[in-house]
Amino acid sequence: MQPLESWGRYPKARQAAVSVHWRTDPLPRVHGSLLPFGQGRSYGDCCLNEGGTLLATSRLDRFIDFDPGRGVLRCEAGVRLGDILAFAVPRGFFLPVLPGTRFVSVGGAIANDIHGKNHFRAGTFGRHVLQLELLRSTGERTVCSPAENAELFAATVAGLGLTGLITWAELQLKPVQGPFIESETVPFRGLDEFFALDADSSQRFEYTVAWIDPRPRGLRGLYFRGDHSARAGKAPPPREPKGFPIDLPGFAVSGPAVAAFNALYYARGRLRTGRKLVRYAPFFFPLDAVGRWNRVYGSQGFLQFQCVVQDRAALGALLERIASSGLRSSLGVLKTFGDVASPGMLSFPRPGATVALDFPNRGAETFALVEALESIVRDAGGALYPAKDARMSPATFAAAYPRAGQFERQVDPAFSSSFWRRVRAA
Amino acid sequence: MRRVLVLGATSAIAQQVARLCAARGAELFLVARNEERLGAVADDLRVRGASVETAVADLDDAARHEDLLARAAPLDVVLLAYGVLGDARETGRDARAAEAVLRTDLLGPVALLTLAAQRLEAQRSGCIVALSSVAGDRGRASNPVYGAAKAGLTAFLSGLRNRLSRAGVRVVTVKPGFVDTPMTGRLPKNPLYASPERVARDVVRAIEGGADVVYTPWWWRWVMLAVRLVPERLFKRLSL
């Protein structure tokens, strides 16, 4: 059994869990509030429900219908994106938006309105959801789409599971020739180089993302860009990874250890510059090679910090603040969002640069850094990503999500989450 | 495996076995009680590319058995994957509840497999795979009736195997330990629980290989050996 904790393993929550086995089943009668729980790949507390009950959806993993003419797949909400790819790629189709792991559920991808390396072209995941069914605590089943029950649809996309249980969804896939990506790695130093590379690459490539290492001696990074290759061929679907066996002790992610890892990773990237043909899995999901890699951070877990800011000076200030802190981040990611409108009332993506970093949970030291970063973002008019967040204040949330009041009217009264109670605390 | 009859197709283990069979190109004939759920399972397999037929039937009703087998013919693999755990407190004080568990877990399967065995014996090929349980290896206070039903099924399968081996028909007894399925949904989980996917892989390996009795996960074979070796004088005082 998967542990019912969030990917960051912070905060810890005590809650009951009930598995949903059939999409036609009614919601279980429980004490306390309900919250759908897919694969537990959001980092903070938006998939947790302290004192309530989680509705585990991993058994809602059935396909319902596939129309190869239109590339439309209808499936249950617990199906993982990786399972869709394993099914669709041999049939010449691909998911239009992919996150950094293939182990997220369709329901979770909708509820967090996730984005990928092609946001500037494709927008968020929710834009490719044609319709979905929502099971409310009244027992009512409502089919929602951008045209039908549009208000409830806009609340459910990026709705963090609070509007009811998504039982199934219909997704628009996109055609591809085969399983390969033409990818290219370009090393860079400093933000100016990043933005120059990004401006050029987003014109010529479908997917772009940068790994960054914000360090006291200045920012360095590897810029990855790629396109679907026209080359046909078969690639065996990636295997289920072996799980990381143990919780590592704290020194495994100490500053010097992370600095050494980053130096090696950067050096390796510099040796592998230039174009090459890779299978889709290592390009999109490099971290999936190790199952449960979050155990590297030990049982106390880690904090993800992901924000979007439009102001480059604010981005620079963020990276400097991180570099000057004693905490090094090994999985820093920097990319730019385009201006494709996000469909959800609480969607995170908006024009600007988005940076994601993770910090081992060292208690007060880590919280202080994350709080300092949060205030830079708030002052710059940016936003933090609920799917990654464990700490943001109600004021920061309210400032970044002005439609929260409109959203709240669509929340199912029987549903709640630790995140929601935290950011809506008076 | 060319054509697989799945009895109890909406069970969590059966669903996973059916997916693996579908991936190997097998035709599937699915039987279950609940039409809506059976439809969900069948649609999933069809989308994955399998050729699927279905029949809605309550397999407790032995009068349906012959008709179902005739419709599913020609048979290649017969997978018996249904059963109920029963509430041990209820079956402990209500003989009718105990009988109901025995009917579903033992009498029905014996009747059904008797007919299936005749067909396979006549065609001199095929394979019967049935999900028994480690619970049948020794009766325990936690659920004596379920244990008795599975012990009976295990013994029946053993006898059937003995008889059918001369006709070149295989009989595979699968003994899962604790599996995380709706059947065990109300019980508290512990690290001994296996996923239905894991059990299904072992079932398919048994169908394709030559095994007669399969414990899944494998280490239950040794756990149950130890459990069986405890003298009754001591065993009766244990709480297992």
Q: Where are the domains of chain A?
A: 180-393
Q: What's the sign of the alpha-carbon dihedral A198, A204, A207, A213?
A: negative
Instruction: Identify whether the C-beta of residue B144 lies closer than 8 Å to the C-beta of residue B135.
Output: no
d(CA A102, CA A83): 8
Residue ranges covered by each domain of chain B: 3-235
What is the pTM for the complete model shown? 0.95
pLDDT digits (tens, 9 = 90+) for B99-133: 999 999 999 999 999 999 999 999 999 999 999 99
Percent of chain B with pLDDT over 90: 92
Matching CATH number, A180-393, of 3.20.20.70, 3.30.70.2520, 3.40.50.1220, 3.40.640.10: 3.30.70.2520
Q: Which of A270-279, A313-322, A414-423, B167-176 has the lowest mean pLDDT?
A: A270-279
Q: B185: which chain A residues are within 8 Å (Cβ-Cβ)?
A: 19, 21
pLDDT digits (tens, 9 = 90+) for A376-409: 999 999 999 999 999 999 999 999 999 999 999 9
Quickly tell me which residue has 């009754």 as its tokens.
B232
Task: Write down the pLDDT at residue A330.
Answer: 81
d(CA A188, CA A208): 14
Q: Look at the domain B3-235 and name its fold.
A: Rossmann fold (3.40.50)
For residue A63, give how far its alpha carbon lies from the nearest alpha carbon of chain B (Å): 5
- Neighbour count for residue B67 (Cβ, 10 Å): 11
Q: Is the pLDDT of residue A1 over 80?
A: no
pLDDT digits (tens, 9 = 90+) for A296-327: 888 899 999 999 999 999 999 999 999 998 88
Q: B193: which chain A residues are within 8 Å (Cβ-Cβ)?
A: 1
Task: Write down the pLDDT at residue A293.
Answer: 87
d(CA A415, CA A395): 22
Q: Is the pLDDT of residue A2 over 70?
A: no
DSSP 3-state assignment of A256? helix
Q: Which amino acid is at B115?
A: L
Subunit contact A64:B185, Cβ cutoff 8 A:
no
**What ipTM does this complex have?**
0.93
> Which residues of B are catalytically annotated?
146
Q: What's the angle, vertex CA A283, arms to CA A282 and CA A287, rounded to 5?
A: 55
- Chain A's closest residue to B45, CA to CA, is A63
Q: Which of A18, A21, A23, A73 to mutate to test the interface with B (most CBs of B within 10 A)?
A: A21
Give mean pLDDT, residues B39-55.
98
For residue B166, give how far its alpha carbon lies from the nearest alpha carbon of chain A (Å): 40
A275 DSSP assignment = E
- How many beta-carbon pairs under 8 angstroms link A with B? 34
Give me chain A's average pLDDT, please: 94
pLDDT digits (tens, 9 = 90+) for A209-251: 999 999 889 999 999 999 999 998 887 777 788 888 888 887 7
Residue A398 structure tokens: 């309210």
Q: Which residues of B touch A (CB under 8 A)?
A: 12, 36-37, 40-41, 43-44, 47-48, 180, 182, 185, 189, 193, 195
Task: Write down the pLDDT at residue B42.
Answer: 98
| Continuous segment of H or E residues that includes residue A222 | strand A220-228
Residue A364 structure tokens: 């007060």
Contacts with B, A 51-110, CB within 8 Å? 59, 62-66, 87
Closest residue to B182, CB basis, from A21, A63, A64: A21
For residue B159, give how far its alpha carbon lies from the nearest alpha carbon of chain A (Å): 36
Residue A273 structure tokens: 């510059």
Q: Which residues contact A76 (CB under 8 A, 6 or more apart)?
A: A23, A57, A60, A61, A62, A63, A64, A106, A167, A168
Subunit contact A65:B182, Cβ cutoff 8 A:
no
- Per-position DSSP letters for A3-67, written without gaps between them: -SS-TT--S----EEEE---TTSPPPP-SS-EEEE-SS-S-SSTT--TTSEEEE-TT---EEEEE
For residue A186, give how far its alpha carbon lies from the nearest alpha carbon of chain B (Å): 39
The closest of A82, A200, A159 to A348, measured between CA atoms, is A159
| B27-32 sheet: strands from edge to edge | B52-56, B27-32, B3-7, B77-80, B127-131, B170-176, B213-216
| Continuous segment of H or E residues that includes residue A108 | helix A106-111
